[in-house]
Structure formats: structure tokens, C-alpha cells
């Protein structure tokens, strides 16, 4: 899978720290943004995260381009309602590529069975379309392994909820791997907002390694 952070609120740490400071200040937000040091930003965000005053981090939002995940994974992702999504349509775009789960890939016999089933599904899909059946109906034969692309926007508060659910050991391997990549992207641009969650989960291994 490919995960790229394609857009985000400029200076996310500073904007959210200013929002936190504004609640206890006579100054307007624009003045606070001008005055804050890195040390103050880090301290303020550390405090609000500890006390649960997390609405202030809703001011930072992050947009990801995610490509090559399975429809099984995208279905889990879109259960996170506090987000915006745009997903490649199977009504208009012909399906074709598949995700191979690592546990199947490492087992020769399982790989053979899996590949044969995918081949049969794909041949049936093509045959139905050759018969004039529209893509939107032919796609019913396609498996959860079918790859998809999606653009997702989440604010930092929703992302932290997403990370805390999907980076836990009991989360499924593919969405866990996706969450790990998303966390690495946002931690790069907003280290203070995501410090705690990054310290907790940065040791999580990528897909197929656990
Ligand atoms: C390990 C794991 C296994 C799972 N297994 C299943 C399963 O078998 N079947 C299944 O259906 N789902 C399953 N889920 C999905 C899970 O139930 C959630 O739908 C999903 O994780 C989205 O989480 P969320 O509601 O916190 O996120 P969001 O939808 O982004 O919501 C964020 C937060 O907003 C608040 N919120 C949002 N909407 C409401 C609302 N209507 N009422 C009150 N508060 C709200 C809640 O505080 C929520 O935590 C699983 C999730 C995990 C992590």
C-alpha cells in the first residue's frame, strides 16, 4: 500500500496550541500564534492531551492519499465516521489488482488455492462484462482482496481515536499497517500533537511482520 499525506493545516501544532491558550487569555488568536515558542507549544499541547481538553486539536486536519489497500481494509476504515472520504468507484473503474495477505503468501498450498479462486473470480467478472453486464453488477463477484484507492481527511482528534483503536494488537494486520503509515506521516508534521500516541505505538511492526 502507498500512504501519502497530501495536505494538512499549516503549522498544526502551533494552531492547536494557540486554541488551547486562547481559552485562558485576553489576547486574540492571531496575537497568540505570533508569540508562541516551540517550548510553550509543546508544553501546552502536552497539558491539554493529559487533561482531555482534546477539542482544541480538532483545528488541525490531515488529508491522506491511500492506494492499494483491499476492500476489506477500506470497509474497516470508513467505519470511522468523524472523517471525510472519496473512494474509487467500482461502478466506473474496472477492478483488477488484489491484496495477498502475508499469512496466505507464506503458505504454498494456501497461495495456490487463493490464486486459483482470484483467477476464477476475475475471469467471471470479465465474462459478465463481455456479455454486456454493467461493471456495477459484474463487480458483485469480486472478493474482499480487490484493491482500492481512497482519499481521507481526518482532524487530529479523530485520528488519535483511529490510532488508539487500529494500532492495538487485536486490530487486523492490514488496517494496523495502514494506521502505522498514517501515524508516521502526521508525526512528521505535528510532533507535539501526536507525541504521546507515537511514543506508545511507534514500535508497531508493518504488515506481515507480526
Ligand atoms: C479490533 C476491532 C474490531 C472491530 N470489530 C467490529 C465488528 O466485528 N463489527 C463491527 O460492526 N464493527 C467492528 N469494529 C468497528 C468499531 O465498532 C467502530 O465502528 C470503528 O472502530 C469506528 O470507531 P469509532 O466509532 O470510535 O470512530 P468514529 O465513527 O470516527 O467516531 C469517533 C467517536 O465519536 C463518537 N461517536 C461517533 N458517532 C457516535 C454516535 N452515533 N453516538 C455516540 N458517539 C458517537 C464516539 O465517541 C466515537 O468513538 C471493530 C473495531 C476494532 C478496532
Name the residue ranges covered by the structural domains of the chain.
2-86+150-201, 96-141
pTM value is 0.94
Task: Provide the pLDDT for residue 202.
Answer: 79
Through-space distance between the first and last CA atoms of the chain, rounded to whole angstroms: 17
pLDDT at 189: 97
* Cβ(5) – ligand 1 distance below 6 Å: no
pLDDT of res. 206: 46
pLDDT number for residue 110 = 98
Listed in sequence order, the residues at least 6 apart from 23 whose beta carbon sits closer than 8 Å to its beta carbon are: 53, 56
Q: Write down the CATH number for the domain with range 2-86+150-201.
A: 3.30.1360.170
Catalytic residue (choose from 71, 139, 166, 176): 166
Identify the pLDDT of residue 95. 85
Catalytic (active site) residue 166 = yes
Which residue is closest in CA terms to ligand 1's atom 2? 171
CA of 79 to the centre of ligand 1 (A): 6
pLDDT at 210: 30
Residue nearest to atom 18 of ligand 1 (CA): 79
Q: What is the pLDDT along the chain (210 residues), one digit of tens a residue?
A: 999 999 999 999 999 999 999 999 999 999 999 999 999 999 999 999 999 899 999 999 999 999 999 999 999 999 999 999 999 988 989 888 999 999 999 999 999 999 999 999 999 999 999 999 999 999 999 999 999 999 999 999 999 999 999 999 999 999 999 999 999 999 999 999 999 999 999 775 544 433
Q: Residue 168 corresponds to which cell in the numbers above?
A: 492495538
Query: 3-class SS at 56?
Result: helix
Amino acid at each position: 500500500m502507498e500512504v501519502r499525506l497530501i495536505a494538512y493545516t499549516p503549522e498544526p501544532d502551533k494552531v492547536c496550541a494557540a486554541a488551547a491558550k486562547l481559552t485562558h487569555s485576553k489576547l486574540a488568536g492571531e496575537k497568540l500564534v505570533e508569540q508562541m515558542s516551540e517550548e510553550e507549544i509543546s508544553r501546552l499541547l502536552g497539558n491539554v492531551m493529559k487533561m482531555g481538553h482534546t477539542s482544541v486539536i480538532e483545528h488541525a486536519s490531515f488529508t491522506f492519499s491511500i492506494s492499494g489497500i483491499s476492500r476489506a481494509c477500506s470497509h474497516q476504515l470508513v467505519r470511522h465516521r468523524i472523517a471525510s472520504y472519496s473512494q474509487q468507484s467500482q461502478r466506473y473503474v474496472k477492478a483488477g489488482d488484489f491484496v495477498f495477505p502475508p499469512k496466505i503468501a507464506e503458505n504454498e498450498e494456501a497461495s495456490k488455492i487463493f490464486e486459483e479462486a482470484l483467477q476464477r473470480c476475475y475471469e467471471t467478472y470479465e465474462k459478465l462484462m463481455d456479455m454486456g453486464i454493467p461493471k456495477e453488477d459484474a463487480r458483485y463477484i469480486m472478493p474482499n482482496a480487490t484493491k482500492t484507492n481512497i482519499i481521507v481527511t481526518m482532524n487530529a482528534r479523530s485520528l488519535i481515536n483511529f490510532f488508539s483503536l487500529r494500532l492495538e494488537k487485536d486490530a487486523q494486520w492490514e488496517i494496523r499497517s495502514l494506521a502505522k503509515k498514517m501515524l508516521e506521516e502526521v508525526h512528521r508534521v505535528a510532533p507535539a500533537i501526536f507525541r504521546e500516541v507515537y511514543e506508545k505505538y511507534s514500535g508497531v511492526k508493518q504488515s506481515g511482520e507480526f
